[in-house]
Amino acid sequence: MIFKPLNVDDWSRQPYFEHYFHSVRCTFSMTANLDISALYTEVKNKGIKLYPALIYMITTVVNRHREFRTCLNAEGQIGYWDSLSPSFTIFHDDDKTFSTIWTAYSEDFNQFYRGYLDDVEKFGSSKGLVAKPNEPSNTFPISSIPWVHFTGFNLNIYTDGSYLLPILTMGKYDKQNAKVLLPLSVQLHHAVCDGYHAGILFNELQQMADDCDGWLATIDPSRCRYV
């Protein structure tokens, strides 16, 4: 993982960053339904899990755009990671708590999927907020509320408002006639992203869901344990 500092003087977004980070510090959220009909059918036919497929989709789109990878490093310097990996939640049904696990991102879905399965098998029963230790700095959060097909979701984070990476939350999918719709909410910091970037995120995720047969072609369920 490599953090690349930005030359603020040559950064076209510099006046927006100054305004929305220093003058009017704010985040915004957007929720929309993804049509995952094709994806849902494909993962069922292949006998693989939907959750890691959605995590892979989200991480792939996030990594395509520098705006989603822009943040402050430990020294408070503005820059961007060359790539991000997902830090996602898992639910413990016995005591109704959750924990976070991170899995190293790979553009190859088969490799990422196997990494996800290995991590969940090793750390899935660990309790506490953080199940898998040694989370690197270049991760971003993904969570799921699979009990509610929500129409809106907003996080109210009472800190100094300097967290710049996207935060994504998916809800319960709903079958409506021939479609399978999944609500997805994204929280973005206005200092680094606008509504345009939120639109890119949702549009490219929809394209990946529609074209899932391409990137799912790398999967070999027979070599994936714990399916």
Structure token digits, residue 223 = 């070599």
Under a CB-based contact definition with an 8 Å cutoff, are residues 92 and 98 in contact? yes
CA atoms in the 13 A half-sphere facing the CB of 52: 27
The amino acid at 142: I
Angle between helices 50-64 and 195-210 (to 10 degrees): 130
In whole angstroms, give the CA distance from residue 164 to residue 191. 8
Alpha carbon distances (Å) from 168 to 65, 73, 206: 15, 21, 15
One of 19, 92, 149, 190 is an active-site residue; which one?
Answer: 190
Query: Phi and psi for 71 in degrees, rounded to 5?
Result: -165, -175
- DSSP type of residue 131: S
Asked about 65 being catalytic, the answer comes back as no
Residues belonging to the active site:
190
